[in-house]
Structure 1
Amino acid sequence: MAQRSIRQIVYDTMYLQNTLAGKIFNVFLIACIVLSVMVVLAYSIPSVAAEYWFAVNYLEFFFTVLFTIEYLLRVWCTPSPKSYIFSSFGVIDFLSIAPTWVTILFPLFPSLALLRLFRVLRILRLVKLLQYLNDTYLMVQVLRNSRRRIAVLSLWILVLVVIFGTLMYVIEGHAHGFTSIPISIYWAIVTLTTVGYGDITPQTVLGKIVGAVIMLIGYSMIVVLAGVISQKFTEAKTNVQEKVCSACGGDGHAIDAVYCKHCGNLL
């Protein structure tokens, strides 16, 4: 009976965000996630990694142990461990701790490039923050509901950058840096997205006119896309109710939701 009670306390603390213990746990975990990501970023700086090698590695090991304990406790206390393990956040939780254990257990890893990839995967801890933002699921739902419009808009963008890129290749040519159609398409993408690196710029009057047209089209598309997403977000916001998952305790599900957005359990 005592073991079952402890399990229930751990479950309420880790999964129920509307309790005092749950809120304190979430704040503590968010702080650890941010600090651990900062450690990973610091490790990628050669001077910092060389001078503070011991401190950086010690902190990384500490956070890995901490997140490993969290992962095991989540698996242990949830009524449906399989649902959590194979849920999106369960996979992210596992991938965020696996790289460090791989480097510790297999120090002579065969591929240095693959080893670096595993180390960079620790940055996935930052994705864990998404499960503590109430509107994360809404945004995912909005993007899913708008996928057809986004796909059509993306197709239009693809067509436009190919057309304008080819046009600029003909107008400007090799003399002004537009040495090939792919290079010109790259310039069109940079210009359409209003980034404007400035590494390639039109020099002729006609080329500048075309560049101005592309920039205006880019701003128009941004406005259209923002309008579509904001409209869908408002619609989705009105269709959300406090529907709690019996497996993980997650709430904030849509009225027509069938599966839990946190662990994938059937609602």
Structure 2
Amino acid sequence: MKRRSIKQIVYNTMYLQDTLPGKAFNLLLIVSIVMSVFVVLAYSIPSVAAEYWYAVNYLEFFFTVLFTIEYLLRAWCSPSSKSYMFSTFGVIDLLSIAPTWITIIFPLFPSLALLRLFRVLRILRLVKLLQYLNDTHLMMQILLNSRRRIAVLSLWIMVLVVIFGTLMYVIEGQENGFTSIPISIYWAIVTLTTVGYGHITPQTVLGKAVASLIMLIGYSMIVVLAGVISQEFSDVKKKLQGMTCSSCGTSDHAHDAVYCKRCGARL
């Protein structure tokens, strides 16, 4: 009975964000995640890593132990440990602590490129921050509702870059840097998205005219995508505002509200 009560306390602290212990735990965890990412960034700077080698490594080990304890506690107090471990955030938690333990368990192979790649995965801890942002669910719902229109727009973009890439390959030719159709398609992508790295530029008048058209279409695509997201956001907001409490008639609840903010009745 005592073990079960401790398990429930740990669960409420780690999973329930509307309680005082839960808010304090989330705040502490967010601060730890941000600080650990700064440690990863510092480790990638050769001068900092060389001068503060001991401090950086000790801090990294400290945060790894901290997040390992968190991972084990979440798996222990979760109603289904297997569901947590194979969930998105469970996998991210595991990937964020695995690199350090791999380098500790296999100290004879510190220079392997694979291990260096694993160490970069520690920055995935930033993804954990998303679950503590209240508007994450709302944005995910908006993107989910807009998935068909976004898919159609993405399909149009793919068709356009293939067409314009092939066209520029014919117009400019290999002597102007458009050495193949895939290279030309890559140029069309960076031009349509208005990025433009500048390593390949059209030289002919017709090529410049086509490039100008691609850039204008790119800006139009951004406007269309913004319009799709804005419209869906407006629809979701109206739907949420229309969620009226049947007991007291109060509306305009938060998007993740379960109970009425006035009378406490279930919505």
Q: TM-score, normalised by structure 2?
A: 0.83
Deviation, structure 1 residue 42: 1.4
Deviation, structure 1 residue 199: 1.6
Quote the sequence identity (%): 81
Take 2:198 and 2:69, find their aligned partners in 1: how far apart are those partners? 49
Residue 130 of structure 2 is aligned to residue 102 of structure 1: no
Decide whether the 8 Å contact of 1:171 with 1:207 is kept in 2.
yes
Take 1:228 and 1:217, find their aligned partners in 2: how far apart are those partners? 16
Take 1:34 and 1:226, find their aligned partners in 2: how far apart are those partners? 30
Q: 1:259 is matched with which residue?
A: none
Q: 1:90 is matched with which residue?
A: 90
Deviation, structure 1 residue 112: 1.0
Query: Quick check: 89-98 or 139-148, which moved more?
Result: 139-148
Query: Quick check: 186-195 or 12-21, which moved more?
Result: 12-21
Residue 195 of structure 2 is aligned to residue 195 of structure 1: yes
Deviation, structure 1 residue 68: 0.8
Take 1:157 and 1:143, find their aligned partners in 2: how far apart are those partners? 18
Q: 2:15 is matched with which residue?
A: 15
Take 1:94 and 1:239, find their aligned partners in 2: how far apart are those partners? 37
Take 2:233 and 2:115, find their aligned partners in 1: how far apart are those partners? 40
Query: Quick check: 137-146 or 219-228, which moved more?
Result: 137-146
Secondary structure class of the residue paired with 1:134: coil
Report 1:99-138 matches (<5 A).
Answer: 99-109=99-109, 112-138=112-138
Secondary structure class of the residue paired with 1:198: coil
Query: Quick check: 145-154 or 230-239, which moved more?
Result: 230-239
C-alpha spacing 1:238/1:122, structure 2 compared with 1 (3 Å): farther
Secondary structure class of the residue paired with 1:129: helix
Take 2:227 and 2:92, find their aligned partners in 1: how far apart are those partners? 31
Secondary structure class of the residue paired with 1:214: helix
Query: Quick check: 71-80 or 95-104, which moved more?
Result: 71-80
C-alpha spacing 1:3/1:141, structure 2 compared with 1 (3 Å): same
Take 1:124 and 1:49, find their aligned partners in 2: how far apart are those partners? 20
Q: 1:56 is matched with which residue?
A: 56
Take 1:15 and 1:238, find their aligned partners in 2: how far apart are those partners? 29
In the alignment, structure 1 segments of 5+ residues that lack a partner are 242-250, 255-267
Secondary structure class of the residue paired with 1:189: helix
Secondary structure class of the residue paired with 1:178: coil
Q: 2:247 is matched with which residue?
A: none
Deviation, structure 1 residue 238: 5.3
Deviation, structure 1 residue 59: 0.4
Report 1:1-267 matches (<5 A).
Answer: 1-109=1-109, 112-237=112-237, 252=256
Deviation, structure 1 residue 149: 2.1
Deviation, structure 1 residue 170: 2.1
Take 1:229 and 1:109, find their aligned partners in 2: how far apart are those partners? 48
Deviation, structure 1 residue 35: 0.8
Aligned CA RMSD, in angstroms, stands at 2.3
User: Which amino acid in structure 1 is aligned with residue 60 of structure 2?
Assistant: E
User: Which amino acid in structure 2 is aligned with residue 88 of structure 1?
Assistant: T
C-alpha spacing 1:117/1:253, structure 2 compared with 1 (3 Å): farther
Decide whether the 8 Å contact of 1:138 with 1:237 is kept in 2.
no
Take 1:148 and 1:97, find their aligned partners in 2: how far apart are those partners? 36
Secondary structure class of the residue paired with 2:18: coil
C-alpha spacing 1:239/1:79, structure 2 compared with 1 (3 Å): farther
User: Which amino acid in structure 1 is aligned with residue 123 of structure 2?
Assistant: I
Query: Quick check: 133-142 or 118-127, which moved more?
Result: 133-142
Take 1:230 and 1:133, find their aligned partners in 2: how far apart are those partners? 20
Secondary structure class of the residue paired with 2:178: coil
Take 2:44 and 2:134, find their aligned partners in 1: how far apart are those partners? 32
Take 2:153 and 2:47, find their aligned partners in 1: how far apart are those partners? 45
Query: Quick check: 14-23 or 28-37, which moved more?
Result: 14-23
Decide whether the 8 Å contact of 2:103 with 2:110 is kept in 1.
no
Take 1:88 and 1:121, find their aligned partners in 2: how far apart are those partners? 14
Corresponding residue pairs, total: 245
Take 1:38 and 1:155, find their aligned partners in 2: how far apart are those partners? 38
Q: TM-score, normalised by structure 1?
A: 0.83
Take 2:234 and 2:86, find their aligned partners in 1: how far apart are those partners? 30
